Structure 1
């Protein structure tokens, strides 16, 4: 019996060591974003030892970070009864409380999760800090506060420093984030995520070449570390956005790196969804359609697949499938709707109501689509940036009234990167829509056009065309004083650009327009001034019939 007891204890110790090793392997899989692999390992540990609270906590955290809250809660609640680090699961439940905006309950659970820890313990504090960061509404300052407690307990702990780096990064404190990431990697040079995050900081600062260099240093240490390829993909996407001349080449490189990332992580539904989000980002809707159909084979009931199918179908010209997919997704109250869902469905409605030749839109369909688009803008005001190309396409089709309605939305947010461009097209759309023989000019619409051109002038004083169209708009409004000033400003700004600009035939034509229209106004009150401007016209075009006739009248 004694021998048997000794053997049993030895066996138990062996199992415990083995499980600890398995936990560490699962952690490595999580860090490498191999989530299906990590889930499989953790489920095996729990099956072998249901009392392993740490395994339940880690598994619950994976589900929580993948927005599968119900499964996360089940594992956290099971883990509470675990004899091995069961209290960690209170921290997981605390994050669920934060997601539900129940801060008091979260504080209670965090207190239970950290109860009785010694001054040297930091693990629980790190997880609380990450809970604050990973919540749907991140609270980086609270994370920093609790992680600084952990730092006092153990300043050289790599995980504490890594978490602090993430918290400072989220709080837009780049300098402190850099110090923390550097300290983390110095404390543990196997912690590749810390070194990778130094490159992420450079990417955020738009130092793209330096970021790529930093990521390549990570690859030199471990070419199979998947997350670094995702960061490279996102860096090349940023290059494509910021350097249009390199757009095609950079997007191709970005997609290649993302494919590499997928091959080194996993092809689970969660990973495919992340891939789908990236494909939307780079605008590869053909690939998105393929990915969405693969996801549908994996899980026919997951509602987010309808979102991807809807986006892809709209961009690839299948408006009926786009309509049914997005309407099904949005109508489900359990789904978390984002701005792009509404905006895309609104555009689907408009596209469905557009004639085959693209020259007319059913007014009812347009009104319905616009109302849905507004819902998206209400959810996320900066989403107006997605409307620029839509408005331009309507403008190119000479659907000026519809284009103006789109640009009215997109000019509502001064933070938009397209704010200047959208104001130009908003003003032009209103002007052209009201400068037609078949319609009576709407003074309110023209006043909006005038305001749009005024916005352009404030933002870009050297853009001379804004002065020209402001003059033309005020001519329709019969606002003589503003018209004269705007025409004169156009002439002055254009003249400043030099002889080469003045020699252009189109510019000469516009100068004649300006001089003749100014002369018309002065002919009522100041004949000397009127003659002066008419002679300026004749200096450009001695045969200009209007100027010649007007001068005869003035004599």
Structure 2
């Protein structure tokens, strides 16, 4: 589980619908900034074919380069080389860079030297492209920013080339932006932010620069400032999709799933990014936000796009299980298990088990029993691996209700061994199951008292009583556990049951409905207290007071009446 950072982020995840109006098709740079390289390549290659030129061929190759495909990039650069200007070997530079990112120094180094020499080291664009290559091309990756080619990263070389480019073209915003990247890679975040701010001053799209600043702060774990700058990017251009995506991922990072889902919705709406991975992430965020119906609806409405990924059946199955729609949950989860058996995880068994247990109207008691049994089998597979939910409690609940007390006790013992703290219901069930198991019989059917079981019952019920002191059964069965652990006379003489029987009587004596429910237990309690004062305290007044109270509350009880008659006869 991620660490929750309470109150860390700024409030206000929502944006009005009007702010998202009048969307425009994203340009190639924006597409690449969103990680949508397939669309960027398609756009750039179409432009190259329609308007072949030195720049358009370079741009097409650059799209493939940014996508991590240097071999394909080189085919476009090769086509552009004949169109290069004499002192501006742009596509020749692209060729050299394609070898550089492949760590092919034998091809890269002499070609880089040649293009710098040909341009006499004075062309800002050539210097800029080489400097950018040494940054490894920072690329969005699940909200963070990472070099596309980490092995080629050389921050010092990048800064050197980019500074030389900036000297030649002091008003070039793009150079300032990539200088920011280079300083970030050089672990100089302050200078990086300054370069991004310079890019804005020189006319760079402020949304893109603010997003970059937000990225820097994110990497430095200053999430407040990251959010602030992403929101500045949105304020500058409400249709700037990458900022919504970054905000979504950031809120996901700190477990604020509703905000993550909200921003992911807005990203999809603004960007029209219909890639399967984007739509799947949208559904995942809504599931984490516990908006299960929205999760199901998103998957259903994008079924054609998502159908090839078996994970959608898992997510939809989990959502249906949480929506208490067990049949749909079972169908989807089983489909996932069949399609991707190598990707099975304990949560699949968890939700599948809960779904089987959730089938209420199974048609017959025997079918219900089969479904419940299947549910427990799956929960038992998941329980040892789930560190968040105490599935042992659900399993023990089933065994307790099924009167399978040895299994109930063993399950709750397992929960304790796995570090789960028992809640009051677990404690009560543990106590009651041990109480029930305290009554054993030998091979001849003779009753054997298991004092250890009764002691375990009393200990568990004592803890449960601390949490719910007014729950009558807890007090009653503490009394009974301490009573039945011994022979009747031993139980009376040691007095362990006395305070519990006294408390039990005080809790129910003024409530007619409770008195009627616990008539037999009240009789046991009064007889115990009468005997206690006869045998232990020799306090006749106390003994007679309990007899009088017992007769008043249970006038039809024959045992108490017999004790009273015996007293009269002895007088």
Query: What's the TM-score, normalizing by structure 1?
Result: 0.57
TM-aligned CA distance change 1:220 to 1:288, over 3 Å = same
1:547 alignment counterpart: 525
CA contact (8 A) 2:492 2:528 kept: no
Residues 78 and 95 in structure 2, CA contact (< 8 A), matched pair in contact too: yes
2:463 and 2:334 map into 1 onto residues whose CA distance is 55
Task: Determine if contact 1:56/1:75 at 8 Å carries over to the other structure.
Answer: yes
> Cα distance, 1:155 vs. partner?
9.3
**Within-5 A mapping of 1:354-503:** 356-357=361-362, 399=372, 401-413=373-385, 416-418=387-389, 421-433=390-402, 435=403, 441-442=405-406, 446-453=409-416, 455=418, 460=421, 463-476=423-436, 478=438, 480-481=451-452, 484=455, 487-488=458-459, 490-491=461-462, 494-495=465-466, 502=469
Partner of 1:195: 213
* 1:304 corresponds to 2:308: yes
Higher relative contact order (CA 8 A, sep 6+): 2
Q: Quick one: which of 30, 33, 39 aligns to 1:31?
A: 33
- SS of equivalent to 2:234: helix
For the Cα contact (< 8 Å) 1:60–1:73, is it kept in 2? Answer: yes
Residue 306 of structure 1 and its aligned partner are, at CA, apart by: 6.2
Structure 2: how far apart are the matches of 1:274 and 1:187? Answer: 34
Deviation at 1:517? 0.4
C-alpha distance in structure 2 between counterparts of 1:149 and 1:212, whole Å:
29
| CA–CA distance in structure 2, aligned partners of residues 449 and 187 of structure 1 | 63
CA contact (8 A) 1:427 1:449 kept: yes
2:477 corresponds to: 513
Q: Which of 216, 221, 237 is the matching residue for 2:231?
A: 216
Q: Which residue of 1 aligns with 2:540?
A: none
Cα displacement (A) at 1:320: 9.6
- Separation of aligned partners in 1, 2:531 and 2:156: 88
- Are residue 185 (structure 1) and residue 235 (structure 2) matched? no
* Helix, strand or coil at the partner of 2:397: helix
Deviation at 1:160, TM superposition (A): 6.5
Q: Give CA deviations for 1:134-167 in whole Å, capped at 9, x if unaligned.
A: 69xx999x949945555675798744654886x8
In structure 1, distance between residues paired with 2:474 and 2:107 = 76
Take 1:187 and 1:539, find their aligned partners in 2: how far apart are those partners?
A: 78
Deviation digits for residues 171-228 of structure 1 (CA, Å, limit 9, x no counterpart): xxxxx797686466346444232223257569x78x77x7654432332333332122
Query: Any residues of structure 2 matched to 1:235-254 within 5 Å, and which?
Result: 251=258
Map of 2:133 onto structure 1: 124
**Equivalent residue number for residue 258 of structure 1:** 264
Question: How far apart are the structure 2 equivalents of 1:150 and 1:481?
Answer: 76
Residues 159 and 522 of structure 1: CA distance in aligned 2, closer, same or farther (over 3 Å): farther
Closer, same or farther: CA 185–426 of 1 in aligned 2, 3 Å: farther
Provide the C-alpha distance between the structure 2 equivalents of 1:541 and 1:345, rounded to a whole number of angstroms. 43
Shift of 1:510: 0.6
Offset, 1:78: 3.5
* 2:350–2:382 CA contact under 8 A, matched in 1: no
Matched residues, number: 425
The yes-or-no answer on 1:228 pairing with 2:243 is yes
Report Cα offsets for 1:470-519 as digits up to 9, x if no partner: 33343355474475256346536744x7xxx53x2x2x431221132023
Q: Distance in 2 between matches of 1:526 and 1:114?
A: 96
**Residue 260 (structure 1) shift:** 2.9
Asked if structure 2 preserves the Cα contact closer than 8 Å seen for 1:224 and 1:264, the reply is yes
Aligned equivalents of 2:409, 2:106: Cα separation in 1:
62
Which residue of 2 is the match for residue 43 of structure 1?
A: 45
How far off its partner does 1:460 sit?
4.4
Q: Distance in 2 between matches of 1:111 and 1:448?
A: 66
C-alpha separation in 2, matches of 1:280 and 1:254: 11
State the Cα distance separating 1:127 from its structure 2 match: 2.2
Give the structure 2 partner of residue 56 of structure 1: 61
Is this contact kept in 1: 2:99–2:105, CA < 8 A? yes
Q: CA deviation at 1:537?
A: 1.4
User: 5+ unaligned residues in a row in structure 1: which ranges?
Assistant: 1-23, 65-71, 95-107, 169-175, 243-249, 332-336, 367-398
CA distance, structure 1, for counterparts of residue 457 and residue 350 of structure 2: 41
Determine the C-alpha separation between the residues in 1 that align with 2:382 and 2:188: 35
Matched, 1:343 2:348: yes
Match of 2:171 in 1: none
Higher helix share: 1
Residue 376 of structure 1 corresponds to none
- Give 1:311-326 correspondences, 5 Å limit: 311-312=315-316, 315=320, 322=332, 326=336
Please state how far the C-alpha of 1:30 moved relative to its aligned partner.
Answer: 1.8
Q: Distance in 1 between matches of 2:183 and 2:400?
A: 54
Structure 1 pair 159/422, CA: closer, same or farther in 2 (3 Å)?
farther
**Alignment match, 1:391:** none
TM-score for both structures, normalised by structure 2: 0.55
Residues 56 and 78 of structure 1 are in contact (CA less than 8 Å); yes or no, is this contact kept in structure 2?
A: yes
Gaps of 5+ in 2: 1-25, 82-90, 117-126, 164-175, 201-205, 439-449, 510-521, 536-571
Q: Does structure 2 retain, via aligned residues, the 8 Å contact 1:26–1:41?
A: yes
